[in-house]
Structure 1
């Protein structure tokens, strides 16, 4: 299958836009959580969000023993 360089540029641009939007929404949500519930809630929610990443990472092909 042949792919054009223009398609790669488009996909890269969409990826950058989605990444930037995710960073912005994360900052907004984190700020709202900090304002409403305090620093402890931010730490607890960050730990809760990292749990699935550490659990699913090796199952999805990541190496658990990477250093």
Structure 2
């Protein structure tokens, strides 16, 4: 298992409900530059999502390009 200590700029490609109650959403993230490959990581990797200048949501990936965030 490795640790990546870098900030990657991503765009939200798709958003879907993760549960019927609507309290969680799944976000599919992609690199801004589609020719720039993402570093390898496994499902369950811990990710800090910088939503704004002072808001960071900590979550885990469910697949290499998807994260689920409780709202």
Q: TM-score, normalised by structure 2?
A: 0.20
When the two structures are superposed, what TM-score results if normalisation uses the length of structure 1?
A: 0.20
Q: Which has the higher strand share?
A: 2
Q: Using CA pairs below 8 Å that are at least 6 residues apart, which structure has the higher relative contact order?
A: 2
